[in-house]
Amino acid sequence: MKRAIYPGSFDPITFGHLDIIARSADLFDEVVVGVLDNSAKTALFSAQERVSMIDGLLSVYSNVSVRAFGGLLIDFAKQIDAHVVIRGLRAVTDFEYELQIAQTNRVEYPKLDTVFLTTSLNYSYLSSTIVREFASYGGDISHFVPEEIIPLIQEKYSR
Ligand code: PNS
């Protein structure tokens, strides 16, 4: 039984993240999407909002679930008995940071390996930051996120 964690901020989740989830669901027996609940970082959506938003998009998968986690990723991995972390790599600029985190996590918890999936080319430009920036100016975000969550994002900027 290979259980993997796909951790991230997902503020909000994008088509790029969903592409990684779909491919991970084929590669592993079980995938747990881990939503970082970081009170030190101001997020657009609360962790609970992000979890329920993602949960609503996962009904097509029988082996993918979503949970919030706080603190260190290695502790969450131990808690749910996962030995693989999945991360998407969009470009070489992602690599240095991701390598450092993966190596640090492995020093601290040698049983934990990180698997990098290269983002599909059509989403290689995409990030949650870009989505927030576009949405904040009332831009069209339908190329970036599923239509179900567009009103939730727009609502955050309409206040
Ligand atoms: O979507 P993001 O913001 O790039 O995801 C980053 C995330 C959540 C994977 C990373 O920040 C993380 O694992 N945070 C939890 C705290 C932790 O374990 N940090 C490792 C420090 S070396």
Predicted confidence (pLDDT) per residue in 123-145, tens digit: 999 999 999 999 999 999 999 99
- Contact predicate 34/8, CB 8 Å: yes
Q: Which amino acid is at 17?
A: H
**What's the whole-model pTM score?**
0.96
Does the annotation mark 156 as catalytic? no
User: Sorting pLDDT into bands at 50, 70 and 90, what band is 159?
Assistant: low
How many Cβ atoms are within 10 Å of 17's Cβ, its own excluded? 24
- Contact predicate 39/27, CB 8 Å: no
**In the chain, pLDDT over 90 holds for what percent of residues?**
92
- For 66, the 3-state DSSP assignment is strand
pLDDT at 41 over 80: no
Alpha carbon 5 to chain centroid, angstroms: 10
pLDDT at 20 over 70: yes
The rounded Å distance from CA 15 to ligand 1 centre is 20
pLDDT at 13 over 90: yes
Atom of ligand 1 nearest to the CA of 128: 1
Order the strands of the 84-89 sheet from edge to edge: 64-69, 30-36, 3-8, 84-89, 113-118
The rounded Å distance from CA 9 to ligand 1 centre is 8
Alpha carbon 38 to chain centroid, angstroms: 14
pLDDT at 4 over 70: yes
d(CA 33, CA 69): 10
Is there an atom of ligand 1 within 6 Å of 102 CB? no
Q: What is the pLDDT of residue 120?
A: 94
In order of start, what are the domains of the chain with their CATH numbers? 3-123 (3.40.50.620)
**In the chain, pLDDT over 70 holds for what percent of residues?**
99
Mean of pLDDT over the chain: 96
Q: Is the pLDDT higher at 7 or at 91?
A: 7
Predicted confidence (pLDDT) per residue in 53-101, tens digit: 999 999 999 999 999 999 999 999 999 999 999 999 998 889 999 999 9
The rounded Å distance from CA 98 to ligand 1 centre is 9
Q: Where are the beta strands (DSSP E) in 102-153?
A: 113-118
Q: What is the pLDDT of residue 38?
A: 85
